[in-house]
Structure 1
Amino acid sequence: MARKPSNRSRIEQLTDKWEPTIQAAFLDAVRDITARAELGQIVTRLERGDIAGAIDAVHLDPAAYRTLEDAIAAAFKAGGNSQITSLPKLPSPAGGEFVVRFDARNLRAEQWLREHSSTLITRIGNDQQESIQRILTEGMIAGRNPRDTALEMIGRINRATGRREGGIIGLSGPQVEYVQTAREELSGGVQSELSNYLNRKRRDRRFDSYVNKAIKDGTPIPRDIINKMVGRYSDRLLELRAETIARTETMAALNESSLHAMQQAVDSGAVNADTVTKTWHTARDPRVRDSHARQDREAIGLNDVYSNGLAYPGDPNGSPMETANCRCWQEVRIDFTAALIEEELQRAGLA
């Protein structure tokens, strides 16, 4: 008989599958928005000084992120099913065994998914709208060409792929600032600022020769080259954002669903909640946060919170400083020693 995978390998298999799925879903949503943005309408509205109208023409519809919501829901369901299948046989008082299945349609499970997805999409949308409004407003105040401003926002079409690339759609607020500052560094012709650009880790190094030449000769970098350089930098930041969202959301979905799965087992009568423990595990490498390293292997009850105030690694109720890009995982299991003691006490009529 094949042995069940360890809890660690089980979680690793789930993350290996669902992180790329959620990442791709986020990038697909961004591509859908940029593909449907009406460039002509954006330019026309900007020419009229109508910032709100220009934003409307981008069509930042929450529905664009439905594939992301679906991917998170699928990861949640997979995590719950995996937790249930990892359980040993659970004997019932009648002499058989309990049959426990994870129900993603359970009221509490559905409520968590609905509220979590809504909060995530709202946060992404609000962050996006604020960044776009700031860029459009700054472009108008500076008297920049409306078409250039619009293209820097939604990206320019890559003739090879037919897709828009290099815009700021999908980036976080700080990332939008990085892109804007990078453009200023490349356009200003100031040697110290050009040198600053060369310190940006996500830049496309294939263009470094243009920067070095500008520093050495004092000649400006051609505008079309600057657009390409900033576009590639923006695309790489978008990849980073997608990776961060995928990792954070995958761990949240898997860890949350493991708790729901065990709680459903408790509700069915198959498991006593007092015999369930959850244990925090880190990746145990130099990249682990100090606060998380200190609580590695911390074990608590099913409904308790860890010493850092989180219900599980990646708990969305926690600060991004504690949850973003967290690679920790949670082991939820039955303490069979406690379970046997509980069973003996019940037989003796002492429980």
Structure 2
Amino acid sequence: MTFLHHPISSTFACEPIRKDRRADISEIERLAQKVEPSLSRAILKALQEQQDAIDLRALIKALKTGSAANVLNVLETSIGSAGKVAVEQALMNGAAAAGAATAKTVARITRTEFHFSVLNPGLIDWLGTYSFGLIRQIDNTTREAVREAVITGMKAGKNPVDTAREIRQVVGLTDRQAKAVANYRKQLETFHLRSKASGFGLGGQIDRVNGRQVFRPDKDGTPLDGIDERRLRDFRYDGQLQRAMETGKPLSKAQIDKMVDAYRRKYLKYRAETIARTEALRATNMGVQNAWKQAIDTGKVPEQLVRRQWILAKDERLCSHCAPIPGMNPKQGVPFGQSFKTPVGPVVLPPLHPNCRCTVFLRVYEPSQLSGPGPSG
């Protein structure tokens, strides 16, 4: 981890200046990617536990009363803070790995002994507060989706058994994702009436990068073509969709249920991966930040000479939301304890939004460099 660019200085026994930051930034991405799988599994398990906790019989009974309040009460008691321990552990692993790697850099450039402490009160407080907030956010998002599904299902006047199953299917998804699942079911129910399926790309291949299905996400992290083109569907059922169009014969309820369930499961997995990708990067960025804070607090590095620069992900997923940020802040970077200016207001650390892949680069300057015009970096 070398999120530090330093000139030769009398303050430290430093190494020569290195101009290339790419290797430094790749290290934080690599560490975040190592955390992603375990964090994704922990989040997916938490989302699945929410669904498994739903008492289908109690839900059907509540639906038969015709009272939305009764239905929501059944669901509210089922959705709890599941999986908090596993999520917290995965986040700690990411922060600890990044902090330990950063400590090695500090030790090397200062030629002193320095070790990252995972028992640092600041890091522990952040982790406890953040992991709890993350789980609560996941739970609250699920509640919003469930409430909308309840209201929609009851207004439609469907059979309580079918409505209960459909409501249970959206548990764990966001409101928008739940609506996408409901709309997919509607499309399948009339798929045999289509003369063509523009956008579906029946029989096509899934776009992948490094083995992972990719989409064009919007600012909320929602896969745009995942909704518009149903590319989160299970492609194994494309033959059945094609035959329904060719013969004009409706898909059976059993076929539709299987397709919708597969679509929902992939969406749930996608949601877990999206959260994990974003939060793994946040945890590792926090580990880097906390390691430098420890270095500053122990006198290894002078805080007044440290500047932080917001680094964009230079690839096909760079979004318009983050692109202006470097230009909104000084070229030399912001002081260590200062937030970055962003289009959404002050932000201490990336990520800025779901699927954001921005990082922070730390640099130590000579006093004379900070009193004059800033370098271009």
Residue matched to 1:126: 140
Pair 1:267-2:297 in alignment: yes
Give yes or no for contact 1:275–1:339 (8 Å, CA) kept in 2.
no
Pick from 324, 332, 335: which aligns with 1:301?
Answer: 335
Report the CA distance between 1:43 and its aligned residue: 2.3
Residue matched to 2:41: 24
Give yes or no for contact 2:192–2:250 (8 Å, CA) kept in 1.
no
Residue matched to 1:312: 349
Structure 1, 251-260 or 297-306: larger mean CA deviation: 297-306
Residue matched to 2:269: 239
Question: 1:22 is matched by which residue type in structure 2?
Answer: L
Residue matched to 1:102: 116
Cα deviation, 1:224-262, whole Å, max 9, x if unaligned, reads: 100111111111211221121011101111112211221
Residue matched to 1:184: 186
Report the CA distance between 1:313 and its aligned residue: 2.0
Question: 1:105 is matched by which residue type in structure 2?
Answer: L
TM-score (norm 1): 0.78
Pick from 77, 85, 90: which aligns with 1:66?
Answer: 85
Pick from 24, 28, 45: which aligns with 1:7?
Answer: 24
Question: 2:336 is matched by which residue type in structure 1?
Answer: L
Structure 1, 262-271 or 301-310: larger mean CA deviation: 301-310
Give yes or no for contact 1:258–1:332 (8 Å, CA) kept in 2.
no
Report the CA distance between 1:15 and its aligned residue: 1.6
Residue matched to 2:315: 285
Report the CA distance between 1:6 and its aligned residue: 4.5
Structure 1, 223-232 or 9-18: larger mean CA deviation: 9-18
Question: 1:173 is matched by which residue type in structure 2?
Answer: D
CA RMSD of aligned residues (A): 3.0
Give yes or no for contact 1:255–1:312 (8 Å, CA) kept in 2.
yes
Give 3-state SS (helix, strand or coil) of 2:340's partner: coil
Report the CA distance between 1:194 and its aligned residue: 8.1
Change (3 A) 1:83 1:175: same
Instruction: State the aligned residue count.
Output: 312
Give 3-state SS (helix, strand or coil) of 2:114's partner: coil
Change (3 A) 1:90 1:201: closer
Give 3-state SS (helix, strand or coil) of 2:107's partner: coil
Report the CA distance between 1:196 and its aligned residue: 6.6
The percent of aligned pairs where both chains have the same amino acid is: 28
Pick from 65, 73, 86: which aligns with 1:48?
Answer: 65
Cα deviation, 1:37-75, whole Å, max 9, x if unaligned, reads: 322222223233421343146x21114333213221322
Give 3-state SS (helix, strand or coil) of 1:60's partner: coil
Give yes or no for contact 1:43–1:150 (8 Å, CA) kept in 2.
yes
Structure 1, 133-142 or 98-107: larger mean CA deviation: 98-107
Question: 1:209 is matched by which residue type in structure 2?
Answer: G
Question: 1:300 is matched by which residue type in structure 2?
Answer: V
Distance 1:193 1:118 in 2: 50
Report the CA distance between 1:340 and its aligned residue: 11
Pair 1:141-2:155 in alignment: yes
Give yes or no for contact 1:42–1:53 (8 Å, CA) kept in 2.
no
TM-score (norm 2): 0.73
Pair 1:200-2:230 in alignment: yes
Report the CA distance between 1:22 and its aligned residue: 0.9
Distance 1:334 1:146 in 2: 64
Cα deviation, 1:81-105, whole Å, max 9, x if unaligned, reads: 22212213476xxxxx754333333
Pick from 95, 98, 101: which aligns with 1:79?
Answer: 98
Report the CA distance between 1:307 and its aligned residue: 3.9
In structure 1, runs of 5+ residues without a counterpart are: 92-96, 155-166, 315-321, 343-351
Distance 2:257 2:38 in 1: 30
Distance 1:149 1:196 in 2: 30
Give yes or no for contact 1:182–1:197 (8 Å, CA) kept in 2.
no
Report the CA distance between 1:292 and its aligned residue: 3.2
Distance 1:9 1:189 in 2: 46
Distance 1:306 1:147 in 2: 51
Distance 1:256 1:146 in 2: 47
Cα deviation, 1:196-230, whole Å, max 9, x if unaligned, reads: 78332212222223333333333211001001111
Question: 1:127 is matched by which residue type in structure 2?
Answer: T
Structure 1, 78-87 or 219-228: larger mean CA deviation: 78-87
Report the CA distance between 1:193 and its aligned residue: 10
Structure 1, 293-302 or 259-268: larger mean CA deviation: 293-302
Cα deviation, 1:139-186, whole Å, max 9, x if unaligned, reads: 2332323232333333xxxxxxxxxxxx22221111111001111111
Residue matched to 1:173: 175
Give yes or no for contact 1:109–1:260 (8 Å, CA) kept in 2.
yes
Residue matched to 1:317: none
Question: 2:170 is matched by which residue type in structure 1?
Answer: I
Give yes or no for contact 2:39–2:276 (8 Å, CA) kept in 1.
yes
Distance 1:193 1:108 in 2: 61
Give 3-state SS (helix, strand or coil) of 1:101's partner: coil
Residue matched to 1:328: 358
